[in-house]
Amino acid sequence: MKKTINSSVAIYPPHSLSRIMFEVNCAWELMIKYWRIRLSYPLTFLYFVSEPLIFLLPVIIYGQALVGGRESEVLANYAATSDVILFLTFGSASMAILTRIYWMGAMGIRREEWTGTLVSIYLTPASRFSIILGNTLFGLTMSVLAFFLQVGGVFFLYGLDINLLNFLPMITILFFATVSLLGFSLIISGLVLAMKQAWKFVLFMDGFMNLLAPAFFPLAVLPVILKPLAFISPITWGVEGFREGVLQGFSNYWFEILGYIVILDFIWLILGILVFNYFEFHTRKKGALGHY
Amino acid sequence: MQEFPIYVSKISKKFVKTRGSRFRRSRKKRIVQALDNVDLQVRKGEIFGLLGPNGAGKTTLVKILTTIVIPDSGVAKINGFDVVKESRQARASFGATIGGGERSTYWKMTGQENLIFFGRMYGLSRKKAKDRTVHLLEQMQLTDKAHERVENYSTGMKMKINFARALISDSPVLLFDEPTLGLDPSFARDLRLYIKNVLQKEENKTILLTTHYMAEADQLSDRVSLIDNGKIVDTATPEQLKLQIKDQEVIKIRTTDSLPNRFLEDIPGILEIYNHNDSIRIHTSDSSQIMLSVLEKLKEMNITIKSIDVETPTLEDAFIKLTGRGLADRKEES
């Protein structure tokens, strides 16, 4: 039901389907807007899309040098494959996707502050979460493009033995991991709104979560002291589940990972909404919105 | 039916300002009372001016009404929606510009893309957003620049596209914070006419505009609130405010140098003096009676006169009478 107010603008009742559709629409428009802006910098765009492949190639060469070829029996004891290149490629590809989703979501508010458009966006009836979701969608779509370039590049150079049907479990993991990362991005966005310099924290967390993510090593070999932290990081399980999906399809371990991710989704999303709302309220109370 | 599309009751807001490095003990905190029990009601279809010098609290009030700042106490409603408790519904009810707004749109997108984008963010269908965009670009005389990136626009054109952004949603309530600040005089005049003739008379919008330009408030507003130090000093029509000093004349003197304070205080017959840089406004009931004494005093002090005018009182003079200071006086913006 829409209540119109003597104008073409509609006010959607809270928790209604029309409201949800409106918010999804806003997130979509924001994503399109980010794409327009990103494509206006063609070299930057090319860099971001090709960077994962350029980053991966030395790792593959290093991995091959380390095990003396492509196959490793030691790796097979820890992971679902003995193929070092396959292991590294999908570890790296999944980490690149998930990190970028987190990065774009967390930096969305800050980027609007930098360009001076945060207040303009805040004047519209769109939810703050839609703003972050729009950024996250942009990160997701851009990193999926980078993923195909990365995997396609490795396929072209080395060849990869993969079952295309296993893309389904991979996409499922990607979807659920994105929810956790959205919650994580909300926390960081709230901190960035309130503290401005907190965006350095985005950088720190990016590096730290990459350290914990089993992209270039099996999770089992992670030092014991870091394991509790790795277990609560959505990127850890995203990478693990993504690669398990590609290598084994819907295996028991894959379902186990999915279970972890769904639990993390609830924790991170609820925590994210609470933290973001708290910091956003206090920023508006201080009158510091849009300051940078 | 909401009687007042813009309703403000007992709104107060304090800010904590800090000075010095956060790592030093000497860091000082002080409380700035930006708004103090402000009451204001704007009727449907009315243009309401909020007139005051920089730092008087005008922008803070607009930021509260636009949900950007949360007040410490009091109630503010837009179109019947509480700006704190029903902020999303309130935001759907207004279009607004805050500050100059040169950077309020995306420079890497064209004017048309910007307006369609913001229209969509208000829930307009793609077709409606596009139609509104075409209409507004025409109104703002930017049709031929529609497909150019905003980064290539002049400052004035950027301000126009920001103004169009505020109108894209066709909202019933409009909040303009210093709408003509930074515009060239010709477009500022056109914009004032547009606000009066189109937005008010044709489209019956309810408009709150803040300004420190006395002539703008006088020309546009049906009613004006004078605001100073976060307090509403008086609310009336521009004519009623000027009537308060109808028996007075104003001698306006411009000099080549800055004038010392209080140097004319001992001349009898002067009711009010407002001294700002190289100009002075003297309120008196009879200009001919004091003119000679004033000129002698200036000659005595070796001050060169650029011009002397005797004027009928303006809104600014009403402001001076009520607050003891002029609109050009600056205070730290809160």
Is residue B317 in some structural domain?
no
B251 and B233 co-located in one domain: no
Q: Are B54 and B228 in contact (CB under 8 A)?
A: no
For residues B81-89, average pLDDT: 93
How far apart, in Å, are the Cα atoms of A13 and each of B57, B83, B122? 33, 16, 14
What CATH number is associated with residue B105? 3.40.50.300
Is residue B318 in some structural domain?
no
Burial class (CB in 10 A: 0-12, 13-18, 19+), A252: exposed
B149 and B13 co-located in one domain: yes
Asked if residue B331 has pLDDT above 60, the reply is: no
Residue with tokens 């411009």: B254
B154 and B273 co-located in one domain: no
B25 and B169 co-located in one domain: yes
Is residue B217 in some structural domain?
yes
Is residue B287 in some structural domain?
yes
Distance from CA of A128 to the nearest CA of B (A): 10
Angstrom distance (rounded) from CA A195 to CA A200: 10
Angstrom distance (rounded) from CA B257 to CA B306: 10
Q: Is the ipTM of this complex over 0.90?
A: no
Which residue, among A1, A6, A193, A195, would best test binding to B if mutated, counting the most B CBs under 10 Å from its CB? Answer: A6
Residue ending a domain, among B205, B220, B241, is B241
B73 and B100 co-located in one domain: yes
Is residue B158 in some structural domain?
yes
- Mean pLDDT (chain A) is 88
Chain B hits for A123, CB-CB cut-off 8 Å, are 66-68, 91, 95-96, 98
State what percent of residues in chain B have pLDDT above 70.
Answer: 93
Amino acid (one-letter) located at B63: K
B213 and B191 co-located in one domain: yes
B149 and B292 co-located in one domain: no
Asked whether the beta carbons of residue B63 and residue A33 sit closer than 8 angstroms, the reply is: no
Residue ending a domain, among B216, B241, B266, is B241
Chain B hits for A26, CB-CB cut-off 8 Å, are 120-121
pLDDT of residue A9: 60
Q: Are A59 and B153 in contact (CB under 8 A)?
A: no
Amino acid (one-letter) located at B291: M
Asked whether the beta carbons of residue A285 and residue B170 sit closer than 8 angstroms, the reply is: no
Asked if residue B332 has pLDDT above 50, the reply is: no
Question: What ranges do the domains of chain A cover?
Answer: 12-286
B102 and B169 co-located in one domain: yes
B267 and B145 co-located in one domain: no
B239: CB partners within 8 A, 6+ apart: none
B14: CB partners within 8 A, 6+ apart: B31, B32, B33, B34, B72
pLDDT of residue B25: 60
Is residue B324 in some structural domain?
no
Range of the structural domain that residue B267 is part of: 247-312
Is residue B291 in some structural domain?
yes
Asked whether the beta carbons of residue A11 and residue B92 sit closer than 8 angstroms, the reply is: yes
- Which pair of tokens denotes residue B36? 């103090």
Residue ending a domain, among B211, B241, B271, is B241
Asked whether the beta carbons of residue B15 and residue A286 sit closer than 8 angstroms, the reply is: yes
Asked whether the beta carbons of residue B123 and residue A115 sit closer than 8 angstroms, the reply is: no
B126 and B191 co-located in one domain: yes
What CATH number is associated with residue B277? 3.30.70.2470
Residue with tokens 């309120």: B283
Band (B29; pLDDT cuts 50, 70, 90): confident
Which residue, among A19, A33, A120, would best test binding to B if mutated, counting the most B CBs under 10 Å from its CB? Answer: A120
pLDDT of residue A59: 93
Is residue B131 in some structural domain?
yes
Number of domains present in the structure of chain B: 2
pLDDT of residue A151: 92
Which candidate from A8, A11, A284 shows the least CB-CB separation from B68? A284
Which residue, among A1, A2, A4, A9, would best test binding to B if mutated, counting the most B CBs under 10 Å from its CB? Answer: A9
User: Which of these, B65, B15, B50, B53, lies nearest to B35 by C-alpha position?
Assistant: B15
pLDDT of residue A204: 83
What DSSP designation does A13 have? P
Which candidate from A115, A125, A285 shows the least CB-CB separation from B122? A125
B219 and B302 co-located in one domain: no
Neighbours of A187 (CB within 10 A): 20
Angstrom distance (rounded) from CA A64 to CA A74: 13
